[in-house]
Amino acid sequence: MNAQFVLHEEEFDALVAASESLLSDACAKAVILIDKNGQLLTATGETAELDATSLASLTAGNMAATEGLAKLVGEQGFGQLFHQGQNENIHISGVGDRLLLVILFDERSSLGLVRLRLKQATSQISKIVVQAEQRCATDARSPLDEITDADLDTLFGKD
């Protein structure tokens, strides 16, 4: 996994579009895309009442713990997790080596529909991430190289 990974606006917009498409196609309440470190990337759908940042952190921790459990039983990992509640359900799946896709759904959808729609969305999101990783690998400069002392002075209100 490349340590330097920066999403450009076009890539971010493509991830949002893929998430919104999955949201609609799966009849889900919300679709949240995070990295495996727990950083929130996108949150679409009914997220106004949801602490998406905490959800992202807890999901990453959940997946890390589950990978430990998988290794204890001789598996490389479990690619998908499903948590069924009385009213709400959470489906978590890995997307490549870098991302986790969280789908929140209720009685308007089903696990079968979510998993069916997930296959196409995962493929689309993977392509976007691979393109971003390739761009990062060929662009030797850091995004921070473009920031000057004058930019920092302006940012922090120094004249």
Summarize pLDDT for 1-49 with one digit per residue, the tens: 445 567 888 999 999 999 999 999 999 999 999 999 999 999 999 999 9
Query: How many domains is the chain partitioned into structurally?
Result: 1
Residue 3 lies in a domain: no
Residue 2 lies in a domain: no
Q: Give the C-alpha distances (Å, rounded to integers) separating 56 from 62, 85, 105, 139.
A: 10, 18, 16, 28
The pLDDT of residue 148 is above 70: yes
CATH, residue 96: 3.30.450.30
Q: Which of 18-22, 67-71, 126-130, 142-146 tops mean pLDDT?
A: 18-22
Domain span holding position 38: 9-155
Residue 1 lies in a domain: no
Q: How does strand 89-95 pair with strand 80-84?
A: antiparallel
Residue 37 lies in a domain: yes
> What is the chain's Cα-based Rg?
18
The pLDDT of residue 159 is above 80: no
What is the average per-residue pLDDT within 129-156?
Answer: 74
End-to-end CA, the chain: 40
Residue 32 lies in a domain: yes
Residue 4 lies in a domain: no
Residue 76 lies in a domain: yes
CA angle 106, 69, 43 (to 5 degrees): 35
